[in-house]
Structure 1
Amino acid sequence: MMMKRSSKEVEKNNDNSLQCLIEDGAATPFSTNKGELYCTISTSGINKNYLLSSDSFRVAFKSTYKKYTGKIITDNQFQYMLNEMEVIAFDNKLPYMLSNRICKHDNAIIYDMSEADNLCVKIKDGTCKIEETPKMLFRRTNIQADQVKPDFSVDETSLSKMLKKHLNIPGKKLRDLYAVWLASCFFPDIQHMILAVYGEKGSSKSTLLQRTVQIIDPVIKGAELNSIPKKSDLELRLDASLVCAFDNISSRQLKYISDLFCQSVTGSVAVKKKLYENTDLITTDLKSIVLLNGTELVISRSDLMERAILVPMKKLSPENIRNENEMEAVFRKALPRILGACLKIVAIASNDTVPITTGHKTRIASFYDTAIRVGRAMGFEDEYTDKLLIMNGKRGNRETLKNDVIVDCLLILLNGKQEYKNSMTNFFNELKEIAKSYNISLSEFPSIPNKLRAKLDRVQSNLKEEYGITYSVHNIGRYREIRIIQNMETDSIENS
């Protein structure tokens, strides 16, 4: 709590007013390990971190100064104090960055819950406790909303069952997979898989994304879903939000920003000039939990598909359609229990030290390990959670290959053969002849044989996992030879 000095005491030496504010904890300038200059403003027990360069800090500081001294600070006085605060902040450097909503600090997971009450959930040693939010941990944007108080009396193993009442996810296995993914989103130090939702109109895709945002990182009403912005704005969104949800996007929109979404999973930074008139560089962290939806699965690139949890949706039947306001009210009532279950699962899973022996079946190893431990906390056997992830991977393979005309023609060409060998030119011509005879469009065919290899390379891992097909290309004299091997014992997704 800030200890307010009398106005006379401050007025004795106006030059020391900033020092008084800092000594009493009303203002705490600091910088992050990225070099960003911040100041924590503490008012009535509420701590909020502001960038020193922001307009919101200028207003917040002037308001605090008036409450503290009883006087309004002039722009000249503020600029003088700002210069001093920048020096103090530069010297008071933290060894970490500020986080969005959730972070790991002093061997505990801290979930920022309420700005109004300055409360958080601290998860440590297998327990969840509601405590006062520490200073200098989180940055809060103007669209963030306070989270509801979690209900820790809930049975954490009932999470998937609770979600069934509020989300139109078809089938128990798919719902269990979503529940595992959802709880994993509360781990701040792992790679988070993209949630890709797809299905026909009227299947509650947007509702699923909205409620996912409300569970993990609530924002003001109407700000849950967004359209895809231009690349520079998207980088800022990925840096400023724990969760970014994009509604009704198309594969054409995703084509030019797939790399950014890949980077948002593995974690990366974008480096650019701070201003055109100088050479200072700033970094933007491309790390966020990305949610996508569309009438069709918009992900086509295999590298992005491997980083996604796929949720195909089915259209609601007429008898299951309800009034949106009534459904929202029912969900809001259940939200404390859903959140409580998620956080209890995190507490149990983060305290789990039993080795994982099922093996890594996904490309994102840190997510896989977390998913197995989350599954244990939910009452699942390791093998069951492992099968859920394998099922997701096979669905990704199928979706990647489904509309690929080259793959269609290749499967017809092999027709059960275990080995095929030919020059790349003859191979290319045979595929084109097959396409013509089966009335398959040639618009997606490469123009020349040399470009066929690049087309195959994009789906190489999918062909191997789905159909047991591997290939190699070698220079034989004056031509290039392709050799294709098909392992007939490999299961397809239909068999699995």
Structure 2
Amino acid sequence: MIPDPSLADAFCRMATGGGFGTRKLHTNAEEVLFDVTRPCLLNGIPDLASRADLADRAIIVHLPVISGSERRFERELWDDFDQAAPAILGALLNGVSCAMANLEAVTLTERPRLADFARWITAAETSFGWAQGSFLETYAENRNRATLAAIESNPVAEATLALARAETTWGGTATELHAMLRNRFPLTCADAMTFPKDAARLASDLRRVQPLLRNQGISLTFARHGKEGVRQIVLECA
């Protein structure tokens, strides 16, 4: 798990494009802007994409185990890479050329998060010998696995999903939902470090996990009811 939630936000902004402004020098008020758009590679043993926004933008790859007899020296690895590099570059350039030729003709049945990325890869499918539409299918499966892993590591998402599936439709205040989750799923909500201590924090965490729940067919909405405008949370299972 990424220890600092702000890191997940930073990775998301960098992957999709973002920037920030700061003073050019500490001695004056002139502002300089930095714009960054770069793919990010995260490596680790546990599931790193535990935040909903990061999980929905991630491609999860589980690498095979390398046995002791198959491990290689770094020099051998780089020698083989240097030999393969021209062919790798050629394949990538063929992919870009194919994508540029087919881009305007691509029609996506679904526009996922990172829709432009999905459109470009779909346009390049034939250059890599992939069946038409296979990338979107694989991408959807990967995102679903990432979503499930993120739910399993998030007590709020896990308990709310279980409640919505059990009740089909539920509505009430954040305070009522907080009590309901703690009573119905005591083991999931027992850890004070991972489950919100009060209703206000629960409402905030629910907004963060909305994409995860939506991916599993759960609609979560915040609304005001009655003359007094009481804030209510509504869960609906499709």
Q: Give the TM-score category using the shorter length.
A: 0.7 to 0.9
Give 1:370 deviation, angstroms.
0.4
Give 1:349 deviation, angstroms.
1.9
Give 1:286 deviation, angstroms.
1.8
- CA change 1:269–1:483 in 2 (3 A) is closer
Q: Which residue of 1 aligns with 2:171?
A: 421
- The AA in structure 2 aligned to 1:370 is W
Q: Which residue of 2 aligns with 1:469?
A: 218
Given that residues 159 and 185 in structure 2 are in contact (C-alpha distance below 8 angstroms), is that contact kept between their aligned partners in structure 1?
Answer: yes
Q: Distance in 2 between matches of 1:269 and 1:390?
A: 28
How do 1:201-240 and structure 2 match up within 5 A? none
Given that residues 361 and 386 in structure 1 are in contact (C-alpha distance below 8 angstroms), is that contact kept between their aligned partners in structure 2?
Answer: no
Given that residues 56 and 143 in structure 2 are in contact (C-alpha distance below 8 angstroms), is that contact kept between their aligned partners in structure 1?
Answer: yes
Given that residues 274 and 280 in structure 1 are in contact (C-alpha distance below 8 angstroms), is that contact kept between their aligned partners in structure 2?
Answer: yes
2:46 paired residue among 289, 296, 299: 296
Given that residues 268 and 287 in structure 1 are in contact (C-alpha distance below 8 angstroms), is that contact kept between their aligned partners in structure 2?
Answer: yes
Given that residues 172 and 234 in structure 2 are in contact (C-alpha distance below 8 angstroms), is that contact kept between their aligned partners in structure 1?
Answer: yes
Q: Does 1:348 align with 2:98?
A: yes
Aligned residues between the structures: 236
Q: Does 1:485 align with 2:236?
A: yes
- CA change 1:325–1:455 in 2 (3 A) is same
Secondary structure in 2 aligned to 1:312? coil
Q: Distance in 1 between matches of 2:183 and 2:64?
A: 37
Given that residues 161 and 218 in structure 2 are in contact (C-alpha distance below 8 angstroms), is that contact kept between their aligned partners in structure 1?
Answer: no
Q: Does 1:449 align with 2:181?
A: no
- CA change 1:475–1:346 in 2 (3 A) is closer
> Relative contact order, CA 8 A, sep 6+: which one is greater?
2
Give 1:315 deviation, angstroms.
2.6
Further displaced range: 274-283 or 312-321:
312-321
Q: Does 1:305 align with 2:76?
A: no
Give 1:341 deviation, angstroms.
1.2
Secondary structure in 1 aligned to 2:29? coil
- CA change 1:379–1:438 in 2 (3 A) is closer
Q: Distance in 2 between matches of 1:422 and 1:282?
A: 47
How do 1:251-266 and structure 2 match up within 5 A? 251-253=2-4, 255-266=5-16
- CA change 1:321–1:440 in 2 (3 A) is farther
- The AA in structure 2 aligned to 1:334 is A
After superposition, the C-alpha distances for 1:308-329 in whole angstroms (9 at most, x for unaligned) are 2221234323343233332332
Q: Which residue of 2 aligns with 1:287?
A: 37
Q: Distance in 1 between matches of 2:70 and 2:202?
A: 48
Q: Distance in 1 between matches of 2:173 and 2:99?
A: 53
Q: Which residue of 2 aligns with 1:391?
A: 141
Q: Distance in 1 between matches of 2:85 and 2:159?
A: 49
After superposition, the C-alpha distances for 1:47-102 in whole angstroms (9 at most, x for unaligned) are xxxxxxxxxxxxxxxxxxxxxxxxxxxxxxxxxxxxxxxxxxxxxxxxxxxxxxxx
Give 1:371 deviation, angstroms.
0.8
Given that residues 361 and 390 in structure 1 are in contact (C-alpha distance below 8 angstroms), is that contact kept between their aligned partners in structure 2?
Answer: no
Q: Distance in 1 between matches of 2:165 and 2:35?
A: 48
Further displaced range: 358-367 or 473-482:
473-482
Greater per-residue helix proportion = 2
Q: Distance in 2 between matches of 1:449 and 1:439?
A: 13
Give 1:456 deviation, angstroms.
1.2
Given that residues 221 and 233 in structure 2 are in contact (C-alpha distance below 8 angstroms), is that contact kept between their aligned partners in structure 1?
Answer: yes
Q: Which residue of 1 aligns with 2:23?
A: 273
Q: Any gaps of 5 or more consecutive residues in structure 2?
A: none
- The AA in structure 2 aligned to 1:475 is R
- The AA in structure 1 aligned to 2:213 is L
Q: Which residue of 2 aligns with 1:320?
A: 70
Q: Does 1:329 align with 2:79?
A: yes
Q: Distance in 2 between matches of 1:395 and 1:436?
A: 26
- The AA in structure 2 aligned to 1:471 is L
Given that residues 60 and 142 in structure 2 are in contact (C-alpha distance below 8 angstroms), is that contact kept between their aligned partners in structure 1?
Answer: yes
Given that residues 170 and 236 in structure 2 are in contact (C-alpha distance below 8 angstroms), is that contact kept between their aligned partners in structure 1?
Answer: yes
Given that residues 405 and 440 in structure 1 are in contact (C-alpha distance below 8 angstroms), is that contact kept between their aligned partners in structure 2?
Answer: no
Given that residues 362 and 393 in structure 1 are in contact (C-alpha distance below 8 angstroms), is that contact kept between their aligned partners in structure 2?
Answer: no
- CA change 1:335–1:481 in 2 (3 A) is same
Q: Distance in 2 between matches of 1:264 and 1:290?
A: 8
- CA change 1:354–1:380 in 2 (3 A) is farther
- TM-score computed with the length of structure 1 as normaliser: 0.44
Give 1:270 deviation, angstroms.
2.1
Higher Rg of the two aligned structures: 1
Q: Distance in 2 between matches of 1:297 and 1:390?
A: 18
Q: Distance in 2 between matches of 1:326 and 1:268?
A: 38
Given that residues 147 and 215 in structure 2 are in contact (C-alpha distance below 8 angstroms), is that contact kept between their aligned partners in structure 1?
Answer: yes
- CA change 1:448–1:381 in 2 (3 A) is same
Q: Which residue of 1 aligns with 2:182?
A: 432
Give 1:482 deviation, angstroms.
2.9
Q: Distance in 2 between matches of 1:453 and 1:284?
A: 33
- CA change 1:314–1:480 in 2 (3 A) is same
Q: Which residue of 2 aligns with 1:95?
A: none
Secondary structure in 2 aligned to 1:421? strand
Q: Distance in 1 between matches of 2:94 and 2:121?
A: 15
Give 1:428 deviation, angstroms.
1.1
Given that residues 360 and 368 in structure 1 are in contact (C-alpha distance below 8 angstroms), is that contact kept between their aligned partners in structure 2?
Answer: no
Q: Which residue of 2 aligns with 1:40?
A: none
Further displaced range: 273-282 or 354-363:
354-363
